[in-house]
A and B are shown apart, each in its own frame.
Chain A
Amino acid sequence: MGYYIYGLPTFLIIVIALYLLFTGSGEAFNVGRFLEETSPYAWAGTGIGLCIGLSVLGAGWGILVTGSSILGGGVRSPRITTKNLISIIFCEVVAIYGVIIGIVYSAKLQSVPENLLYTPQNYFTGYALFWGGITVGFCNLLCGVAVGITGSTAALADAADPNLFVKILVVEVFGSIMGLFGLIVGLLMVSSAADFSAA
């Protein structure tokens, strides 16, 4: 199985690279030209979409891990079901971070005619929104999964001994700061990026 996953793309890349090399069009592989030719709107849109998409994916993943543990443990200990909703809320907060950044980034998307679009400022904004969105999205994804796993652990510990819940909640708080760091870095990245503007 691993042979297909790693071998086939490697083979295709080598074949395409050798084809370009031997037919004299090796100059067609030009990273700088690709980065200059793609529209800044493509970068910005991809970043914003991935930001909200990955954040919500992380929140959902965390909620599914925590929720199933809470409900499973609640069969024998019904008292845990209300207090452990805090863990679900910690996962939800990660999705809220994604929405905030998505709204802040979307405010920079202004319409500019094609012939006036390719300025250094607009390139900068496009790249900033792309990488900012990816950073926020992946940080929230990882934070959501970590908080979910820890929340599930807290629920089962609470079912065993009610005094443990608050102590394991400390671990969850440490887990949720990662989403906050992603939010901070995402906001800092676009602080010097102006809206898309014509020349």
Chain B
Amino acid sequence: MSVCPPFAPFFGFGGVASAMILSTVGAAFGTAKAGIGIAGLGSFKPELIMKSLIPVVMSGIIAVYGLVVSVLISGSIRPGEYSLFSGFTHLGAGLACGLTGLAAGYAIGIVGDSCVRAYVHEQKVFVGMVLVLIFAEVLGLYGLIVALIMNTSAIGGDKCPTI
């Protein structure tokens, strides 16, 4: 069992893919679901549309988290000098960012949809909506933090024995 087997990049790239794909699932769900609510709001009160774009922006931020982690991980994968330790660590980092982004995007979508529909009837719910959306967004942020910590611990783990 070698420290740097040739199949180690499979797991590293799996981490990159899962960070990007899973956070895109969350972002896409958040954008689409909140967009439906915003169009419903716009039919009744068009002047409130600009303020109610907040859930859509926050879903975009979830996608950016996934992009950041993907770019960071894929920058550390080099052919030939990549250990299995780094591979599994990067896989874990990618899954951490991706699955939390999925959860955060899902929450932002459903909260955004229902809150903008309430915003049509009662303008004072806006502050409450922003507070709930921030708490949902912060879930994705936690995943980003853990992914960055794991990525940092994988740096310097590529001491491959030279043949």
User: 8 Å CB contacts to A: which residues of B1-46?
Assistant: 1, 5-7, 9-10, 13-14, 16-17, 20-21, 24-25, 27-29, 31-32, 34-36, 38-39, 42-43, 46
A36 to B, closest residue via Cβ: B7
Known: A131-B14, A145-B28, A174-B56. A185 touches B71 (CB 8 A): yes
Which residues of chain A are near B53, meaning CB under 8 Å?
A: 170-171
A150 to chain B, nearest CB (A): 4
| A121 on interface, CB distance cutoff 8 Å | yes
| A135 on interface, CB distance cutoff 8 Å | yes
| A143 on interface, CB distance cutoff 8 Å | yes
Which residues of chain A are near B64, meaning CB under 8 Å?
A: 181
| A168 on interface, CB distance cutoff 8 Å | yes
* Complex interface bits, B52-86 against A, C-beta within 8 A gives 1, otherwise 0: 01001101100110110011001101111010000
Which residues of chain A are near B70, meaning CB under 8 Å?
A: 135, 185, 188
| A57 on interface, CB distance cutoff 8 Å | no
Which residues of chain A are near B38, meaning CB under 8 Å?
A: 168, 171
User: Are A120 and B42 interface neighbours, CB within 8 A?
Assistant: no
User: Are B32 and A175 interface neighbours, CB within 8 A?
Assistant: yes
User: Are A181 and B6 interface neighbours, CB within 8 A?
Assistant: no
User: Are A181 and B66 interface neighbours, CB within 8 A?
Assistant: yes
Known: A145-B32, A171-B56. A181 touches B63 (CB 8 A): yes
| B50 on interface, CB distance cutoff 8 Å | yes
Return the contact of A178 from the options B14, B24, B34 (Cβ within 8 A): B24
Interface centre among B13, B38, B67 (most CB of A within 10 A): B13
| B146 on interface, CB distance cutoff 8 Å | no
Which residues of chain B are near A35, meaning CB under 8 Å?
A: 7, 10
* Complex interface bits, A34-52 against B, C-beta within 8 A gives 1, otherwise 0: 0110000000000000000
A160 to B, closest residue via Cβ: B43
User: 8 Å CB contacts to B: which residues of A159-199?
Assistant: 160-161, 163-164, 167-168, 170-172, 174-175, 177-178, 181-182, 184-185, 188-189, 192-194
User: 8 Å CB contacts to B: which residues of A117-167?
Assistant: 118-121, 123-125, 127-128, 130-132, 134-135, 138-139, 142-143, 145-146, 149-150, 153-154, 156-157, 160-161, 163-164, 167
B29 to A, closest residue via Cβ: A146
| A24 on interface, CB distance cutoff 8 Å | no
| A2 on interface, CB distance cutoff 8 Å | no
A65 to B, closest residue via Cβ: B32
User: Are A168 and B39 interface neighbours, CB within 8 A?
Assistant: yes
Question: Footprint of A on B, CB under 8 Å?
Answer: 1, 5-7, 9-10, 13-14, 16-17, 20-21, 24-25, 27-29, 31-32, 34-36, 38-39, 42-43, 46, 49-50, 53, 56-57, 59-60, 63-64, 66-67, 70-71, 74-75, 77-80, 82
- Give 7 new A-B contacts, CB below 8 A, not counting A143-B28, A157-B43, A161-B46: A32-B1, A118-B6, A120-B79, A149-B36, A157-B42, A184-B71, A189-B13
Question: Footprint of B on A, CB under 8 Å?
Answer: 32, 35-36, 118-121, 123-125, 127-128, 130-132, 134-135, 138-139, 142-143, 145-146, 149-150, 153-154, 156-157, 160-161, 163-164, 167-168, 170-172, 174-175, 177-178, 181-182, 184-185, 188-189, 192-194
